[in-house]
Amino acid sequence: MEVVTRLHYSVVIIGSGFGGIGMGAALRRAGVDDFVILEGGPGLGGVWRDNTYPGCSCDVPAHLYSFSFAPYRSTRTRYPDQRHTLDYLRKVVAEQGLTARLRPHSAVTEAIYLEHAACWALVTANGTRLTADIVVFAVGQLHRPNVPVFPGHSEFAGASFHTAQWDHDVDLGGRDVAVVGTGSSAAQVLPMLRATARKVTVFQRSPQWILPKPGREFGVLARTALHLPGGHRAYRRLLSQAADSLLSPIMRGGWSARPARWLANAYLRRSVADPALRARLTPDYPIGAKRILFDSNFLRALSEPNVELVTAPIARLTRDGLETVDGTRHRAEVIVYATGFRASEFLAPIAVRGRGGRLLHDQWRSGASAFMGLAVPGFPNAFLIAGPNSFNPAGSNPSMKELQIDYIMKCLRWRDETDAAAIEVSADAMAAYELWMRAALCRTVWSSAGSSWYKHESGAVTNPWPASARTFARMLRHAPARSFTTIARAARDTTENIPA
């Protein structure tokens, strides 16, 4: 492999979605300039760059789904679409002076902790080698498409692609299209597809709990309120409190689960007139056990004459479509895989080696875990944003990431103050946290659903945060000295022993 450069930075951030951008902005605010943001793709934006499928938008109001330091301030639009969210991120990057720090096409393949130098050696797919005192993995949870390979996969003669890898060259107008999956992505794409396709066949493995989503645009009253001084800030606070008080308890079968189920059932009855179709769309697991869909178009689209819902499992692909286990052949010229992401495979495909050459993925073989989703014992000076069990299924994930970033910044300051070469979360703190996490997960309904991206194949719930955002903030309020240990500074040489 050709060595392109050999460089050292104080901090290297991996990923340029909300997490990486937020981390970069925090470093700039703290006066740290010696950092880069390595991005595997062609540009910034993370999932908001990748997901360009028709109808893609956010199902969390943008006044909450935005950075606190760069508040979204539209008095018109509650739910911007993908393009606007990507534009928002581009604007933040420009305003925060991060453009020159971005290194696109720099997918990190190896991250190795060099004990003698107390720093990280990083290798990218394009041959760049660099070292960093601190590495921050901000690659998110929902970026590696899960594309099932059904028997007969290679026989299918038409086009097929995943929602996060949309092929805009394929014209779907007047064609027979199959959509596999009925999660948030399928719900957003179906109404757009069925408007132009001849027929759309939707393959559902399990039904979803769906709550109606408020309108994309604000009404007159809300617009007036947002024009008042402090209106935006008050709205953001209200949304955050509503998420914590109304939505979060649903995940634990708490007080709001019953009214939410009632609302979802009433919404299903209102949207789907056919009782047989309704029955097939009614979940048999507790509401909140998979991520709740917030959507106002999917159910109605399923009742349209050019849409068919198939609930028999897919047996195989044929030359001109899909065959289900009951022997029925469903014609399709194009297959859209709305089959989600390999969310529990954290940090794949980066080979991360910590102290003693320990491979992180060996440690995570039966499911990933990290202290507050941001640090792992044995991996000094390494942090994660949106790591294991830190996805908030009931609120805003940019806000969760900001809380992690604030804590990471506290850790970096503490490392400087103590003049330590490295800091590392202690095994005791991790053990106490895991005990808390196990008890908290037991109180959730997440184990009650069959499959979901919340879980590792071992059955361990590895992705969502099991309490409120308020609790997450409270648990990150402590000083790093309580949970981290220091590694003393020794003579260091960052130019040696970078893996060949």
* Contact residues: ligand NAP, CB under 6 A: 57-59, 142, 148, 180-186, 188, 203, 205-206, 290-291, 314, 338-341, 451-453
DSSP summary character for residue 444: S
Strand ranges for 321-392 from DSSP E: 321-324, 329-331, 334-337, 351-353, 382-384
Strands of the sheet with 176-180, listed across from one edge: 159-162, 334-337, 176-180, 199-203, 307-310
Which residue lies nearer to ligand NAP by CB, 83 or 478?
Answer: 83
In angstroms, the CA 236 to CA 379 distance is: 36
Between CA 361 and CA 456, with CA 150 as vertex, the angle to 5 degrees is 30
Beta carbon of residue 195, minimum distance to ligand NAP (angstroms, whole number): 19
Beta carbon of residue 469, minimum distance to ligand NAP (angstroms, whole number): 15
In angstroms, the CA 319 to CA 331 distance is: 9
Beta carbon of residue 283, minimum distance to ligand NAP (angstroms, whole number): 9
Whole-number Cα distances in Å, 30 to 26, 135, 413: 6, 17, 9
Beta carbon of residue 369, minimum distance to ligand NAP (angstroms, whole number): 20
In angstroms, the CA 278 to CA 257 distance is: 20
Beta carbon of residue 475, minimum distance to ligand NAP (angstroms, whole number): 22
Which residue lies nearer to ligand NAP by CB, 206 or 497?
Answer: 206
Which residue lies nearer to ligand NAP by CB, 185 or 201?
Answer: 185
Torsion of the alpha carbons at 15, 16, 19 and 21, rounded to the nearest 10: 140
Beta carbon of residue 18, minimum distance to ligand NAP (angstroms, whole number): 12
Beta carbon of residue 392, minimum distance to ligand NAP (angstroms, whole number): 10
Which residue lies nearer to ligand NAP by CB, 129 or 401?
Answer: 401
Which residue lies nearer to ligand NAP by CB, 9 or 53?
Answer: 53
Q: Which amino acid is located at 133 in the chain? A: D
Which residue lies nearer to ligand NAP by CB, 310 or 408?
Answer: 310
Cis peptide bond prior to 349, omega within 30° of 0: yes
Beta carbon of residue 209, minimum distance to ligand NAP (angstroms, whole number): 11
Which residue lies nearer to ligand NAP by CB, 27 or 289?
Answer: 289
Whole-number Cα distances in Å, 203 to 180, 250, 330: 5, 27, 10
Beta carbon of residue 218, minimum distance to ligand NAP (angstroms, whole number): 18
Q: In a 3-state reduction of DSSP, which class is residue 489?
A: coil
Beta carbon of residue 184, minimum distance to ligand NAP (angstroms, whole number): 4
Closest residue by Cα to residue 26 from 409, 477, 412:
409
Q: How many CA atoms lie within 13 A of 470 on its CB side?
A: 12
In angstroms, the CA 392 to CA 206 distance is: 22
CB 310 within 8 A of CB 327: no
Which residue lies nearer to ligand NAP by CB, 21 or 189?
Answer: 189
Which residue lies nearer to ligand NAP by CB, 106 or 208?
Answer: 208
Beta carbon of residue 311, minimum distance to ligand NAP (angstroms, whole number): 11
Beta carbon of residue 318, minimum distance to ligand NAP (angstroms, whole number): 16
Which residue lies nearer to ligand NAP by CB, 181 or 367?
Answer: 181
Residues 6+ apart with CB under 8 A from 103: 36, 37, 38, 39, 128
Beta carbon of residue 186, minimum distance to ligand NAP (angstroms, whole number): 6
Residues 6+ apart with CB under 8 A from 313: 205, 324, 325
Rg of the chain over all Cα atoms, to the nearest angstrom: 23
In angstroms, the CA 378 to CA 484 distance is: 11
Which residue lies nearer to ligand NAP by CB, 68 or 451?
Answer: 451
Which residue lies nearer to ligand NAP by CB, 298 or 379?
Answer: 298
Which residue lies nearer to ligand NAP by CB, 310 or 420?
Answer: 310
In angstroms, the CA 130 to CA 8 distance is: 6
Closest residue by Cα to residue 102 from 19, 25, 16, 6:
16
In angstroms, the CA 316 to CA 325 distance is: 8
